[in-house]
Amino acid sequence: MSRATFLLALPAMSVLALFLIVLLSFASVSLMVVDPGGAVFHGPPTLTNYGKLLVSEGAWRAVLTTLRLSSEITVLTVLFGYPLARVLARSHSRTLRRVILFCLVATFLSGGVTRAYAWLIILGNQGLINQGLRAVGLPRAALINNEFAVIVSVLNFVLPFFVLTLFGALRTIPETLEHAARNLGASRWRSFVTVTLPLSLPGLAAATSLCFALSLGAFLFPQMLGGGRVQVLATAIYDRIQASYDVPSAAALAVLFLLLLLLMLAVVGCIRRLVAIRFAGEAT
């Protein structure tokens, strides 16, 4: 590495080093024990916190809830997002494409708190839907403080990321390939399933893993719309800090969360590589 390279990379490397130091020192806190009744913690290093996590029913439930919710959200995102990405990439109406693009980027930029609050207004006990139900004499529906509200709001948040990423991949696939299949007599559906879908798989895998990672880490939406009844890993860590000031135990849970995330990323990476190998082989 030349001196110029070193100097140019130095500022960014310092930021990165600070980030890693902060994370590692937090991981080391997970080996300490908190004094009963106080926020002070001390050594010597022990695995007590991890031992407690292993037998904690709440922690395991949070792991399972996190995995289940993010899988459900990911499946829904793919089902709802793919058609929109396809319209955005393939529609011949320039106006339609511009309108979709404009709406997606505007919502994407309008922020999480804004949209979480909007879902409170819509789904809340005094919210839009329940006001409508009351107006026609129906009983109140429990639409908030449950997994339904969390899934709807996270899905809404993740969709623009997914559609914009998939759109980037879809528009690099030559449309002429689809036209060729159609000219040879394939139906629209068949030309999609046999030509476009396989070619879009690498892009689909990238967009899907992005949206899975975003749902795994989601915090604001479970916190605001779960109302304390939906405990995912992110909210469980927050509670350990805010409610019980137990930093070492929060740190242990965070380390567990990070390991889980790395595991999921490794699995997703393997799937992506398999997809790439399989379809690259078929294309040649």
Q: From the list 22, 54, 263, 277, which residue makes contact with other proteins (rule: CB under 8 A)?
A: 22
Q: Is 54 in the site for other proteins (CB under 8 A)?
A: no
Q: Which residues contact 45 (CB under 8 A, 6 or more apart)?
A: 28, 31, 32
Q: Mask of contacts with other proteins, 208-227, x by CB under 8 A? A: -----x--xx-xx---x---
- Considering the complex, what minimum distance in angstroms separates the CB of residue 284 from other proteins? 25
Q: Which is nearer to other proteins, 168 or 198 (CB)?
A: 168
Contacting other proteins within 137-176 (CB under 8 A)? 155-156, 159-160, 163-164, 167-168, 175
Euclidean distance between CA atoms 284 and 282, whole angstroms: 6
Euclidean distance between CA atoms 84 and 90, whole angstroms: 10
Q: What is the dihedral of CA 173, 176, 180, 181, to 10 degrees?
A: 30
Task: Give me 185's structure tokens.
Answer: 């007599």
Q: Which is nearer to other proteins, 75 or 278 (CB)?
A: 75
Q: Which residues contact 187 (CB under 8 A, 6 or more apart)?
A: none
**Would you give the DSSP letter of residue 33?**
E
Q: Which is nearer to other proteins, 201 or 260 (CB)?
A: 260
Q: Phi first, then psi: what are they for 184, rounded to 5°?
A: -80, 5
Euclidean distance between CA atoms 103 and 186, whole angstroms: 34
Q: From the list 71, 126, 194, 244, which residue makes contact with other proteins (rule: CB under 8 A)?
A: 126
Q: Is 50 in the site for other proteins (CB under 8 A)?
A: no
- Considering the complex, what minimum distance in angstroms separates the CB of residue 141 from other proteins? 16
Q: Which is nearer to other proteins, 113 or 277 (CB)?
A: 113
**Would you give the DSSP letter of residue 140?**
P
- The Cα-based distances of 55 to 51, 52, 264 in angstroms read 7, 5, 23
Q: Is 104 in the site for other proteins (CB under 8 A)?
A: yes
Q: Which is nearer to other proteins, 99 or 278 (CB)?
A: 99
Q: Is 121 in the site for other proteins (CB under 8 A)?
A: yes
Amino acid, res. 66: T
Contacting other proteins within 63-82 (CB under 8 A)? 80-81
Q: From the list 49, 166, 178, 195, which residue makes contact with other proteins (rule: CB under 8 A)?
A: 178
- Considering the complex, what minimum distance in angstroms separates the CB of residue 20 from other proteins? 8
- Considering the complex, what minimum distance in angstroms separates the CB of residue 99 from other proteins? 8
Euclidean distance between CA atoms 179 and 80, whole angstroms: 25
